[in-house]
Structure formats: C-alpha cells, structure tokens
Homo-oligomer: A and B are copies of this chain.
Amino acid sequence: MKKQAGMLELPVLGLLKERSMHGYELRKQLSAMLGPFWQVSWGSLYPALRRLAKSEAVVVEPVVKPRRSNRETKQKQATGLSPGRRKTVYRITPKGEEMFLAMLEESAHAVDADHFTLKLAFFRYLQPEARLMLLERRRAYLTEKLAQFRNNLREYRERIDSYTLSMQNHSMAATESDIAWIDELITQERAPKDVRPEISNA
C-alpha cells in the first residue's frame, strides 16, 4: 500500500555515524530514537547490515570480550571455540557517510510519514535550507491529501456508513494536526536560533 524498500539504511548509518555499534545495540537505539511503533526485527536488521557491508558503507569488526573471571578461563580453552561473548561491531566508512547524506537530502522519498520521520531524526545533519525544503514538501503532500479527503467526502459522503465516516473524519483531523506540527517546525526553523529573544518590550 505505501511501504517501500530500504528504510533501515538511513537510520542505521545515522546511528553508526555517532558511534560504532553491534546489531543488538543498534536495535535498542533505533527503538529509543524512533519510539515504540518502530519495532525492528532481526530478520530485517541483520540483512540490512549485510547489505550495507556489501556496498562498503560499513565495515565489520568482530570483537570478542574475554571472560571476566579468570579462573573459568580454561573451561573450553582447548577447543578454541566459545571465546567469550562475541560481538560484531559495525563502523561507518567515508562512503557510508556520503550515502547517509545523499539519502538524507534526497527529497523524492521525503513525503510519506515513515520516510519523513526517519529524516527528521537526523535533521541536525542538514543545512537549514535543506530542512525547510523537506518540511515544505511534507506540508504540501499533507495539504494535498487533505484536499483529496474533502473532494472524496463531497462525492461519497452519503454512500459510506457511520463507522467509515468517523474513521475518515479522524484521519482528516490527524492530518490537520500533522500540518499544524509541520508549521511549528517551519516557524522554528525560520526563527533566528542564535539570538535568544528576551521579553521583547520597549
């Protein structure tokens, strides 16, 4: 219906840009950053990491944390297996940084809610003009959807039942709320940030 490919790449690179991490931690940070509606599964995260490694956006660094207690060290030492807890830490490469910025700036996929959310989470890496462009694009998209809602209802209102009507009304209200929020972000973006205005009173 509305979901496309490769959504994980951007936030994964964005997090690795801050510091190298292994998959397990990456998932936790992803949830912390994006909220509980974004549950990333292992089956999507690890393949995404492999894709990133394959395209040389990240490099893998196998890390073995040796056992803490030194008296248990000899247990399986002979086999060479089970060398403490193993991790696979991923580090972003210069190429990965490039890809990250390219994905972030690309405005083609900025319209739908999920892609917009992902970009917003890394807005700090964009110039104010780029931020404003993405905000305006998202705003235009939502405004268009709102107009389509109204046209749609003008034509079909009588034919849809009360539950569906309630759903569409709620959907429209949510869209209006989204627009109001974007407007806030736009206003803040346009406001000069360095001068912190005191109570403006002559």
Contacts and interface: CB of A to CB of B under 8 A. Distances in A.
A173 to B, nearest CB: 7
Interface string A102-126: 0000000000001001001101100
Interface stretch (A52-60, A78-86, A92-100, A164-172): A164-172
What is the total number of copies of this protein in its complex?
2
Interface residues of A, number: 43
Main secondary structure on chain A at its contact with chain B?
A: helix
B166 A185 contact: yes
B171 A174 contact: no
A95 B166 CA distance: 30
Contact of A1 (B38, B174, B177): B38
Interface in A148-178: 148-149, 152, 155-156, 159-161, 163-164, 166-168, 170-171, 173-174, 177-178
Contact of A37 (B123, B160, B171): B171
In the complex, the 7 A-B pairs of residues with the closest C-beta atoms, listed nearest first = A36-B148, A123-B163, A32-B156, A3-B3, A170-B181, A36-B145, A121-B164
27 contacts: A1-B3, A1-B7, A1-B39, A1-B40, A1-B44, A2-B37, A2-B39, A31-B152, A32-B152, A32-B156, A33-B156, A33-B164, A35-B148, A35-B152, A35-B168, A35-B171, A36-B145, A36-B148, A37-B145, A120-B167, A123-B161, A124-B161, A124-B163, A166-B181, A174-B177, A174-B178, A177-B177
